[in-house]
Chain A
């Protein structure tokens, strides 16, 4: 009558302890992983930040104007090239 209770009272703490140990190891490894990921995330953010600055640097209007002048045949829009729907002649149907 005493035996099963004793086994239960010794076995239960043992199981709980082992489970706790396992969980804590798991938490530790997850925490390490999290830290690694966080560090990687910060590094990525920093990289993005630098790339944004570079993007802005490469898109300076002055540089774009210079490159467009050299490689493209674009000129500022003339008023005659612009129109609006309100100025367009009214739609008279497909037959015409």
Chain B
């Protein structure tokens, strides 16, 4: 560059010196272009130098200082992960309960169809379920998009694709699949065609599931156990068939943290085919239905009376004759016609005794106690199907007495089992949940440790000597309470339409799981001598469930030998100083 300008300047100078007159002014004038050129050169050089310095610095930054490197790497990593619209739902052992599977849906673009008649003929030849008229109408409709059939099977997809019809296309969609079919339908719920949750956990945790899927956050872990759920479902279905019941509910609950291991409501329905089932099938009896659950409430009355110190286990009540209160008469189903002490009232399920016990505690304290136990408000369960208990607006003495034996208050079966879990786990209430919990769950104390121990003793006695004998599962020290209630209908109670319930826990020396079975309108059979009480249908169902789930859940059985008796007696003595005497009747 500089050489050229110098040469140019020389040329210019020599040209100038050719003409004489101007020769004198040369030196200064001639140096001007040179100076201009030099300045320009400097400026241009400086600009280039700056540019190169910037480029160099950026090069160093990118290659050595790791600038912007990670972000692109992460984006790539994300792109290499399968992203679905909804996260999976798994059970406590990681078994898949609900997932999204890719599938193909067939659509038609009517503007591209050549011959609608021929197309309809050929489509119906491979998809015989579709009507020819329907396809014809869609293929000649206005607009440029019509669904023909959603979620084709791979064979159907292949067959339609092979027809090679112009105007017909496939769209990749996702379909919610429940590998276990209807086993979990009342807890998981179902989704609509656009994969939005419409019932159960799918609806209650809708945004949660969508966010989990977007962030690759894994699956929604529930507290359910598919093995336990299957056993509860199968035994409940068998009991419903045997006793000709129109419905039933079964629940297994961990008494220490409130996790629900199984929740079953029958009849159930097919989550893929909602049209073939009615409201009765869709109704969740375990969490939405509220029932007067009868004698099972005597457990709450007894615990309440013991806890407030109104009675002790040796106190006695007059049950010689039906009790008259205002214009009502309270009778016993299994009349003993004598004075009964507190354990006898519980074991023989005496309405008269329980009503008097409740009256002695008083309406105020009863209401407060049931409130603390969670019996008066909906549970904070992760479902939209969450029943609100019915309790009297005005809590009069007669209400207090009837509620003492479980009439005049209606709660969901889940309320009941949750209350029982509180009574046997040492007296601490923890809200039931369908999601897996980690770590220690803090709860609120409702009854004292001593009351809880006494209740364990009383519940064990019901199964050893009382109305719940058939709930025994050999080796697992089952305890619980039966309840047989007439169904409430407008203006009174329906004779012969019963709700029978058995709710219990095992093993009673250190309870781990609570189990509830409720049957809706069971009937007597030959083998039950025509009786339809809870002791004849709900109790044996619980016994069968426990004998199957206990080994699965790792509950150690007590060996059926001489040790058994000893073990039981140790339990009874430990639970209460008076144990030996109480165990003797």
Contact B82 A82 (CB under 8 A): no
B530-566 contacts to A (CB < 8 Å) = 547-548, 551, 556-560
- Do B230 and A65 touch across chains, with their CB atoms under 8 A apart? yes
Chain B: minimal CB distance from A20 (Å): 12
Is A60 in contact with B180, judged by CB distance below 8 angstroms? yes
Query: B80, A42: Cβ atoms under 8 Å?
Result: yes
Once A50-B101, A62-B230 are accepted as A-B contacts, the answer to whether A80 and B560 lie under 8 Å apart by CB is yes
A56 pairs with B179, CB closer than 8 A: yes
Is B177 in the interface zone, CB < 8 Å from A?
yes
A53 interface neighbour in B177, B231, B548, Cβ under 8 Å: B177
Cα(A64)–Cα(B557), bound, Å: 25
Closest CB in chain A relative to B234 CB, distance in Å: 7
Contact flag A76-B548 (CB < 8 Å), given A60-B180, A65-B230 = yes
Of the listed residues A34, A60, A61, A77, the one surrounded by the most CB atoms of chain B closer than 10 A to its CB is: A61
Given A49-B101, A65-B230, verify A82-B557 contact (CB < 8 Å): yes
A41 within 8 A of B: yes
For A41-84 the 0/1 string (1 means CB < 8 A from B) is: 11001100110111111011110010000000000111110111
Would you give the 0/1 interface string for B69-103, flagging 1 where the beta carbon is closer than 8 Å to chain A?
00000001001111010000000000111010110
* Most interface-central of B229, B476, B548, B557 (chain A CB within 10 A): B557
Q: Counting CB contacts under 8 A, is B181 at the interface?
A: yes
B335 lies within 8 A of chain A by Cβ = no
Given contacts A50-B101, A53-B101, A56-B96, contact A84 B556 (CB under 8 A): yes
Say if the beta carbon of A38 comes within 8 Å of chain B.
Answer: yes
Interface presence of A87 (CB below 8 A): yes
Chain A residues with CB below 8 A from B102, complex form: 46, 50
A contacts with B, residue count (CB < 8 A): 28
Chain A residues near B79: list those with CB within 8 A: 38
Tell me, in angstroms, the Cα distance from A56 to B99 when the chains sit together.
Answer: 10
CB pair A79–B560 under 8 Å, yes or no, is yes
Q: A62 to chain B: which residues have CB within 8 Å?
A: 183, 230, 234
The verdict on B227 contacting chain A, using a C-beta distance below 8 Å, is yes
Q: Establish whether residues A79 and B183, one from each chain, have CB atoms under 8 Å apart when the complex forms.
A: no
Closest CB in chain B relative to A19 CB, distance in Å: 14
Q: Which residues of B contact A60 (CB under 8 A)?
A: 179-181, 183, 226, 230
B229 CB contacts on chain A under 8 angstroms: 61
A82 near B551 with CB under 8 A, answer: yes
The reply to whether A82 and B556 contact each other, CB–CB distance below 8 Å, is yes
Using known A-B contacts A61-B230, A65-B230, determine if residue A52 contacts B560 with beta carbons closer than 8 Å: no
The 10 closest A-B pairs by CB, nearest first: A79-B475, A79-B557, A61-B230, A56-B96, A56-B179, A57-B179, A77-B551, A45-B82, A38-B80, A76-B548
Q: Enumerate 13 A-B pairs (CB-CB under 8 Å) in ascending A order.
A: A45-B81, A46-B102, A52-B96, A52-B99, A53-B179, A56-B96, A56-B99, A60-B181, A62-B234, A76-B547, A79-B560, A80-B475, A82-B557
Extra 10 A-B pairs, beta carbons < 8 Å, given A52-B96, A60-B179, A61-B230 = A38-B79, A50-B102, A57-B180, A59-B95, A60-B230, A61-B183, A61-B231, A76-B547, A80-B475, A82-B551
